[in-house]
Structure 1
Amino acid sequence: MKLKICLAIALLSFLGVSIRSDIFAEENEILDAISSKTNKEYEAGRMELLKMRKESEKRKPVLERPYVFVRSQTKYSGRLYVSCYKWHDRPLFANRLLWDEGESDHKYASFRKTFELYQSYGLDGYATFAWPDGYKRTMKVIYDTASQMGLSPEKFHIMLETASGKNYLEINQDTLNLISGNQYSFRIGGKSVISSYVIDSLPPEKLSEYIKSLKERSGDKIIFLPQICFVNMKDEKGRSFNIHQVHEIYRKNKGALPLGMINIMKEYLRSYLRVCDGLYIGHSSSNPDVTLDEKFSDEVLFPLFKSVLAEPEFNGKKIFAACGKVGYTSYHGAQSLSRDGTKTLRKFFELAVKYRPDLLICPEWDELNEDTGFEPLLAKPMSSQRIIKYYMSLLKGEKLTSNPGDDLSIPNLIISQRRQLMPGWKMDIELLNVPDTDKGEKYTVKLELLDVNGKSVYSSDEMQFNTAELKDITLKLPSENFKNCQVLRSRLTINCGEKSWISWLDFGTDSLAEKQVFLDGLPFTVLRPTTCWDQTYFCTPLRNVLRPEKADFKFTADKNEMAPGIRGVQTSADLKSKEKITMLEVVQDSIEQFAWDPKNEFLQNDTDRQLLSLGWHYVNNPHRINITFDVKLENAPSAITFSSRIHSSAPQTPVMNEMAKASPAFTEKSGVWNLAQYSGAADHWQKNRLISIKKSDMEKAVITISGKRKSGNLKEKDFSLTIPLKDFRSYNLFSKVFEDGLMFSLETQYRPYCFPMPLDSCEAKFNSTVIADNPNGILAARAVTENGKVYWSAPFAVNSNPSKETVPVYVYSDTAGKGIKLDIAKNRVPDIKYDFSPSHGNIMFTSAGREFYGHAGGFVSAAIGFSGGEAANFSIPFNLYAKDIFKGADKPAPEWVKTDEGNWALKFDGERGNFLVLPNTVIPQRAGFSMSFELKPDEVKGSQVIFANKGCTFGGFTLEAKNGKFEIEYVRRTPLDPTQKSYSAKYFKTNIPLEAGKWQKITLTYNESKVFLSNNDKIESFDLEGIGLYLQNSHFGGRGDKTKDGVIPFYKGLMRSLEIKHYVE
């Protein structure tokens, strides 16, 4: 579930409403009205804030101590067997064996593992949504699991939560009976607590009707707790405003709010308290640099809620709940709340320790696509567990204890650093000692940073710690100092008197005196010149780093490329450990490129074979059609297909704890793929079939897809596609998007298709070719053990010889607070020039690497091979095909045509929603760029959007032609400029024309201080600073929201070239 920090944008995006730029004008009107309050009103408000803090101390708690729950998405915690590589992180204990024969796809084995982890945190219980119609599938399984495990109802509780939709609030009677009657339901005063999510999207009058019904149907055995996010407030003149605007006023006025605003917020809370059984703080705010603004929570939100609850009408009678978070960083959505190492998590728990709410409810345990997860993750193995366990000991008044199996000769120290970074961002390295003993022992830590070749580029002073004290030392280093580094590796020297803890990192080293320090085991930061698509953190407890007996990894890049920007890397591994290894993979930047599978489930280890993946999607309104099709293979007698046993659960699932079955694709006399004809849906959910073929057959092999649409705009219309396989013997990708948005793709499946079965061995050894699809990628092996330890090998740079020639790269510097110029090796800086030809169908190749591939009319996730979410729906221009925003957009793909000059071009029809979508790193969020493209418009409309850096929310630039002249819009943040709003939009009207019937080369350039626009020989520039609001996909072709005069601003005409350089000459 999504609730982004910027509510005005987030709720529109979440609900599928058109994201309009004039939303900024509407917000500014409210902000200006509030800002115009007199100094007297602000001074009165400042005094009221101080008064609230004192009043809040009078509040009588309902419970003897804060009880802590973490809310889960059951689709993950109940399905830890799900084995897909869709995110840049995953559960530490994900395992295909956590599947069982239960009647639901939510499995007892997975919930059992989840509940064991909850207990290891010291949490009071498990919270999740009371999913509509989810009683048998989910709710019963959750409660039955607790019972089967024999958990104590006094120590482990279950709390269900609802949302504001009618189907959520009218809780199924069977589920309501569980809530009100089951011994594991969390109760206060004999009544079970039902929590909620953004429930104030309903007015209290309407909400009270639902609560009354729930209480009647449960026999008055429930308590309803409303999560308040201030989404329905009105000012004195009846104008709507939200908590984001309150925070903006607070920030701009140095911690002051007008008294009238505070009184409105108080009355808003009272209106819900009078129909509910308490209040639940749902909101938190970010600083412009997306770190948590804990001062706003500490000085406004917590005193506000607690002081109202302390009023005589409510004191001691109503529940006080607060939320806890770790962050919010979505690959396709907003990057709106940084984990900030482990600081965000700790700040929320410090607020709970200070204000003592009755309940602390933390969303979410396992929302992978938003990095909101509290669960143990591969990049954060047990870091949250160790921190929360410490705070739970404080809240419960219990003795501190270490984790079972911990090596107590190593301090309980967590090192946190970004997974990817680019020059300009601060390189924050957090060292956190988490007490797990009352016996204090002093120790020192010295940190060095090394580049990919092992050269030291930074060394810290010794830092002092005590094992019995919670202490954070964070180094904040200007990353532009490391502009020539491809990675930054941390080397730690830890000393406690005469004993040194460095030895556990010294494989083959007998003593410190030799000073041979090996860094294998710890993760590292990949330093990219201009873009970071992964803005999450490593948070690594030293005690969760695997210490193998043997670790030998070698990488050698092939001399010749497989395809432009694509290179094979010969990789060998020899790993031996005392702990059982479950997974051994090779990771490029943050994507798994290889997973060792000695059982060879998909014959991927057979060097004489090639594994292919056939996929299908659909892009249109409505978002799904039903199709049937056959697949015919010709001249491929070696072809093998794979199938899994399907279990009769509800819904049905593949049997994940069994290997897929390989079977010949041909019957004896037939060329038809020997699988049942596919009959089902095509939509934004990824569907694939695997085929393994001997490479010797592929010269003449041909695959043909033939089928019929059973619904949609072209119902009963046939489709067919034939693809020769001769070019798929090493690396290739092809897609075809039909007129109605039905898409088929075929690619060499070089990345792992799913998790292999657990290795279940103390040894792992392989020799294999790993495909590096980023010419500047960083490869490393990663091992995971059964008991939750992780090991990283030394990194390997695919580009081992950065060029001596440099190019000027402009980046936003956190240190300087503005854009700066850096000279960086030219062959490290992306120069993304697209191949404008139909040789790969609708996929747009570039030698800059697969990370930058575009897709004409299809999901960009199919082009780059990474979804960043459960489904592909966020990987197209959001406004084009969302919630029937407009009628008539029924043809997403532009057509390939030959120009009069004999070149290939994309033809956009200007009416039916044609688009070309590009991945989210094509336009840098924090660096300059120069984008050039050639257009030949058929006509110049009153309004047509040519280019937009917008996905499911705002990114940065939009280029629009209005009445024949270009206009530029930039939605930005200026993180270190206190005079600017947290986010804002800048608009520039130009005299640069867009002319019909002629080719013109248009160039948009930004260097972090100016923006330039040119069309052939005409050029204009404007002063401009800041960074793009969020990292987002980009697209050409138009935008699906109508202008005020009813025009849908699609581009009509030809496009024949596109190049984006991440440097500015």
Structure 2
Amino acid sequence: MKIMFFLISLMSAAALSAAVPFTRTSDFTPVTIGERARNAKETMFFAEAQLKYGMFQNYLHYWIDRPLFWNRATRHPERRFAYMTYPSFMIDVEQLRKYEMDGLGAFGMHAGKFRQLKQADGFLEKGKVSDVMILPQITYGEAVVRSDTKPDEIVDMLKYCLESPRMPRINGKLLVGTYNYRLLSAARHKELMKQIAEMLGRDDFLIIGDMDFGRLRKLQAAFRKNGMLNRKQTAELEKLITDVLDVAGGIQLITTELIRPSGGDYTSRYDTSFFDNCTSKALEKIMARPEYKDKILGFFVNQGYINHLSGMNHGEYGTFTLRNIMRRVLKHNPDYVLFFEWNEANENTCFQPTVYSGQTVGRLIKYYSRLSKGKPFAPYAGENASIPNLTLSHRATLKPGEVLRFELLNIPDGAPEHTITAQLKLTDQSGKVLLAFPEEKITSTLLGSIDYCVPGEAFAAGSVIRPVLTANGKTYTDFQTIRIDPTMSWNYKAVRQNLRDMLNVGEFKFNVRKLDRNRYRFAVDLKASEPLASVELMNLEDEIAAAGAEKEYDAENNLIVRLALTAPPHASSREPGKIRVLNASSPGISANYLANVDPGAWKNLPDGSGIHNNFHLWTQETVYFIQISKKDAGKAVIELDFKNPDIGIKRIPVDIVEKNGVYAVVLNPKTALRAEALKMTNLPDLPQSSGQKHLNWSGTVETDTPYPVFTVRAIGRSGRIYRSHAVMPVQIPGAPFQEVACFSETVKKAVKVKIPEALLPDIHYLFGPDSGAMLRSDSGRYFDGRLGGGFHYMEAFSHPLTKVAAGDRAPQWVRDGKEWLLRFDGVNDYINFTRETFPQGAFTLQMEIRPDCADRTMVLFRHFNYFLGSLSLFIRDGRLYACWGEKNLRNFKFATSLPVRNGAWNRIEVKYDFSRLAFTVNGKSEIIPFRGRAYAFKSAIFGGHDKREYAPDEPLVFFKGDLRKLAIRHY
């Protein structure tokens, strides 16, 4: 049921109106176990694992979340690179037991994955673990390529797995999952199965297949168009299922397709309409046939996909996506369920306990596991069952126009039925109530949620909201604060806080005062009820300091430099050499333990000035932290000395890093290998577990955020979390305001909100070579542009399909009288900007260029990584030309009549406000009515790339010419 409420607002004048609308819905749909006769004794629950992620890796800053039970002590004891360690893996095993799951799914194809699978199996054997298993999975090629698969690797994996007692069996046969099974035809699979059985000399295994997605999508499209399948289409769907069952040992299904309406939420929704009306009925009919009674039935289960790096996000909606899918899955009484995924940090699909998700998912899976097995429900071991088993889920940050959702979830735990009385309120940081939702009565034995949706534009941009929940007479305040960012949004992950997972803090004092332009002094006094794993100081949801970290990284006395080495696709290399710090006494160098990145087995130089190593440069950054005494920073130099003559010796002036915050250099002009030195003003590495209960902690932090929002987060060793109120030591100016257009996901159209000018990014780029291969901004380092670069995951030049000619890729600094300009060679030069520098919303883009046009269409600017964001700008036939990739993937093309002078300076401006696109060249304008939305947040590029998507039809070339001005305004 859905009810619209209009409450008299207690909000500030910055709200849209005095009436704050919200919707209330509830979902207590019961879960039933179907009557299908399983082949497995009980439904088995697995989660697909990425074994390359461990509890010891450094998840800070690059990722938005991390394992809740991280532990640096589980790193390799000899400082060696490792994907996995035994103590780290056993933490996962402990959590799987708490979930009452059966184990992990693991890829076993290809040498590296097979080694990891065997290593995980060996860890289980070492720990004498008999209640957690490894479900082996075969992988077929790459998702983007229709490739064949030779049986040798499959046979090698099956030989090993058939001998292990820690792999699941059904009726005496090894259960084997698959990934990308659909890439091969049914005929090829039939041939492959025969080959495998002959090579093994046995057939006691069950390889599970899935349906051909290409054929399935055509049927889904027909259903969306007509609301049903005709007889012929229904027969085709049934054949899709039997094509798998006739060859494989069973079938594994996905119950959803992704729907993303142009006028809807930013995130896609997992839609079950086709499954409910078509697949489910066909499946029941076919699985009831005698010839398929021995076939295995499995399901993939998602809870969301939140990729803060790619821009592709599929909504969790609290826990609704997970619960909605599980209702459909258990209705078919499957033999197994494979949750997607256990620990994928890039995509935030983690079923593993994390800092954002807490232990709510574990409680849910334990509920489903017991329901499917007919066991009585029970609480988590060691928790306080007198506290209502309620979880409040909501985002940590959003922007005006987006929907602010709250899910209040109840999970039955076996206690006798009673009524839970609960009420949610939203307050400001002073405790003033902004919005009070209705008092709710919840039956404790029912799994389900009450959900509220509030327009994000109803709250003042820059404000911080604190949820307060009263349950059975007790008030809980220690939830994640909610920050309304004026224009930027790339973190769509929900924070799930169960009341039983709140850390009990008896005493808490927290204050922050500003020292000078960007330095702040803080003090924290905290007494917790249990030993602490960490106490961290946060700014804008990012970790900037941790209690005890100063013993390892002394930011008070040392300059801490983050040195990152990287390479474009196809140019990865091992480079022997040295990193030295000259003109400094006793510098320190340590590695950053990023997942999947090998920092090498370096050796310290005899004179203590640095390290010698065989450095690995590839698309992901290989990072080292360098500590230099602030007394030496003015004269110190970081020297990179490689044996490769194409690199030679490169030097980074430390005083520039300290002053400007960054310095970059192209190491190899032939292959674009790159080094970037960044002044660290946030926490370098994961905190080490303190074990203390009482903490009195103070220090000084630095930030280039003009209006910081500080909070404290304390995590107990049990996984319970305390989140403090926010402290905002710099008052946001009340005026002047700008009226800024944004798209309201509530009313499905553009609206205007008043935002203080001080909060609006108005980014002007500073032209000068001081920071090397960087283009600095006047609005903070986040917006700095890279001259070349953009190689790591989901940046514009990270994908091998984005082809770029050989060379250094960096435009050159050229002196033009008193000014500096950037000169682009038209071959491979570009500037790369990180996500949301160019926003999804309203914008003004300004540039001054002197093009050297060829006859071919030239790229000026693209909001694009290797897939579209929104705007692409070109010079075509001597005129300004634009394309726009809209949220529903429509491609709009705008051929203006505005001439761009060749060999002369041109002032170009593009402005958008959700009602029109205004193009201006040298004072002449063309205005085009337009209301499109950006497809996704992405990186942005000046000068490239020449990928022919959402572009004119003809071949493209990189920009050739000069650039002397660039500005991006978020309004």
What TM-score do the two structures reach when normalised by structure 1? 0.81
| Matched-pair contact (CA < 8 Å) for 2:600–2:615 | no
Partner in structure 2 of residue 197 of structure 1 = 179
Give the distance between the partners of 2:93 and 2:151, measured in 1 at CA.
26
1:231 and 1:169, CA in 2 relative to 1: closer, same or farther beyond 3 A?
farther
Give the distance between the partners of 1:546 and 1:849, measured in 2 at CA.
35
| Matched-pair contact (CA < 8 Å) for 1:82–1:96 | yes
2:679 is aligned, of 748, 751, 767, to 748
1:487 and 1:57, CA in 2 relative to 1: closer, same or farther beyond 3 A?
closer
Q: Tell me the matched-pair count.
A: 917
2:822 counterpart of 1:891: no
Partner in structure 1 of residue 963 of structure 2 = 1055
Give the distance between the partners of 1:176 and 1:838, measured in 2 at CA.
57
1:343 and 1:1044, CA in 2 relative to 1: closer, same or farther beyond 3 A?
closer
The equivalences for 1:282-681 within 5 A come to: 282=254, 284-288=256-260, 289=265, 290-314=268-292, 316-484=293-461, 486-495=463-472, 500-502=473-475, 505=476, 519=477, 521-560=478-517, 567-597=518-548, 600-602=551-553, 604-605=554-555, 607-619=556-568, 622-636=570-584, 638-642=585-589, 667=607, 673-676=609-612, 678-681=613-616
2:712 is aligned, of 772, 777, 781, to 781
Matched to 2:618, the amino acid is: D
Matched to 1:462, the amino acid is: E
Partner in structure 1 of residue 13 of structure 2 = none
1:368 shift after superposition? 0.7
1:432 shift after superposition? 0.6
Q: What SS class does the counterpart of residue 340 from structure 1 fall into?
A: coil
* Deviation digits for residues 192-238 of structure 1 (CA, Å, limit 9, x no counterpart): 0111112101112222333223333442121110133x3343xxxxx
Partner in structure 2 of residue 695 of structure 1 = 630
2:853 counterpart of 1:939: yes
Q: What SS class does the counterpart of residue 552 from structure 1 fall into?
A: strand
1:789 shift after superposition? 0.9
2:861 counterpart of 1:930: no
| Matched-pair contact (CA < 8 Å) for 2:229–2:278 | no
2:948 counterpart of 1:1017: no
Q: What SS class does the counterpart of residue 423 from structure 1 fall into?
A: coil
Give the distance between the partners of 2:586 and 2:425, measured in 1 at CA.
52
| Matched-pair contact (CA < 8 Å) for 1:857–1:894 | yes
Partner in structure 1 of residue 135 of structure 2 = 159
Partner in structure 2 of residue 707 of structure 1 = 642
1:492 shift after superposition? 1.1
| Matched-pair contact (CA < 8 Å) for 1:83–1:94 | no
Give the distance between the partners of 2:151 and 2:781, measured in 1 at CA.
45
Matched to 2:765, the amino acid is: Y
Give the distance between the partners of 2:219 and 2:764, measured in 1 at CA.
45
1:853 shift after superposition? 1.9
Give the distance between the partners of 2:565 and 2:83, measured in 1 at CA.
24
2:876 counterpart of 1:959: no
1:644 and 1:856, CA in 2 relative to 1: closer, same or farther beyond 3 A?
closer
Partner in structure 2 of residue 797 of structure 1 = 728
1:405 and 1:725, CA in 2 relative to 1: closer, same or farther beyond 3 A?
same
Give the distance between the partners of 1:813 and 1:651, measured in 2 at CA.
41
Larger displacement relative to structure 2 (1015-1024 or 387-396): 1015-1024
1:280 is aligned, of 238, 252, 269, to 252
Matched to 1:890, the amino acid is: G
Larger displacement relative to structure 2 (727-736 or 548-557): 727-736
Matched to 1:363, the amino acid is: F
Partner in structure 1 of residue 820 of structure 2 = 904
Give the distance between the partners of 2:632 and 2:182, measured in 1 at CA.
62
2:773 counterpart of 1:842: yes
CA RMSD across the alignment: 2.8
Give the distance between the partners of 1:172 and 1:555, measured in 2 at CA.
59
| Matched-pair contact (CA < 8 Å) for 1:328–1:371 | yes
1:413 shift after superposition? 0.3
| Matched-pair contact (CA < 8 Å) for 1:379–1:539 | yes
1:57 shift after superposition? 8.7
Partner in structure 2 of residue 83 of structure 1 = 58
1:251 is aligned, of 206, 215, 224, to 224
Partner in structure 2 of residue 991 of structure 1 = 897
| Matched-pair contact (CA < 8 Å) for 1:333–1:953 | no
1:777 and 1:598, CA in 2 relative to 1: closer, same or farther beyond 3 A?
closer
| Matched-pair contact (CA < 8 Å) for 2:410–2:448 | yes
Matched to 1:94, the amino acid is: W
2:665 counterpart of 1:736: yes
2:956 counterpart of 1:1033: no
2:190 counterpart of 1:208: yes
Partner in structure 1 of residue 47 of structure 2 = 70
Matched to 2:440, the amino acid is: M
1:844 shift after superposition? 2.4
1:58 and 1:146, CA in 2 relative to 1: closer, same or farther beyond 3 A?
closer
| Matched-pair contact (CA < 8 Å) for 1:333–1:952 | no
* Deviation digits for residues 697-734 of structure 1 (CA, Å, limit 9, x no counterpart): 2233333333342xxxxxx3243333333344576211
1:882 shift after superposition? 1.7
| Matched-pair contact (CA < 8 Å) for 2:96–2:132 | no
1:983 and 1:340, CA in 2 relative to 1: closer, same or farther beyond 3 A?
farther
Give the distance between the partners of 1:802 and 1:172, measured in 2 at CA.
64
Matched to 2:837, the amino acid is: V
Give the distance between the partners of 1:689 and 1:886, measured in 2 at CA.
29
Give the distance between the partners of 2:809 and 2:255, measured in 1 at CA.
38
Q: What SS class does the counterpart of residue 143 from structure 1 fall into?
A: helix
Give the distance between the partners of 1:693 and 1:100, measured in 2 at CA.
26
1:96 is aligned, of 51, 72, 76, to 72
Give the distance between the partners of 1:168 and 1:1031, measured in 2 at CA.
39
1:124 shift after superposition? 2.3
* Deviation digits for residues 9-36 of structure 1 (CA, Å, limit 9, x no counterpart): xxxxxxxxxxxxxxxxxxxxxxxxxxxx
2:110 is aligned, of 132, 157, 166, to 132
Give the distance between the partners of 1:252 and 1:700, measured in 2 at CA.
69
Q: What SS class does the counterpart of residue 75 from structure 1 fall into?
A: coil
What TM-score do the two structures reach when normalised by structure 2? 0.89
Q: What SS class does the counterpart of residue 97 from structure 1 fall into?
A: helix
Larger displacement relative to structure 2 (533-542 or 983-992): 983-992
1:613 shift after superposition? 2.9
Q: Give the percent of matched residue pairs that are identical in Structure 1 and Structure 2.
A: 25
* Deviation digits for residues 939-973 of structure 1 (CA, Å, limit 9, x no counterpart): 14331221111113221111223222333222222
Partner in structure 2 of residue 882 of structure 1 = 800
1:856 shift after superposition? 1.3
1:958 and 1:479, CA in 2 relative to 1: closer, same or farther beyond 3 A?
same
| Matched-pair contact (CA < 8 Å) for 2:849–2:964 | yes
1:115 is aligned, of 93, 102, 107, to 93
| Matched-pair contact (CA < 8 Å) for 1:92–1:377 | yes
| Matched-pair contact (CA < 8 Å) for 2:539–2:708 | yes
Give the distance between the partners of 1:651 and 1:634, measured in 2 at CA.
27
1:312 shift after superposition? 4.9
Partner in structure 1 of residue 753 of structure 2 = 822
| Matched-pair contact (CA < 8 Å) for 1:940–1:964 | no
Give the distance between the partners of 1:522 and 1:454, measured in 2 at CA.
13
Matched to 2:721, the amino acid is: V
2:204 counterpart of 1:221: yes
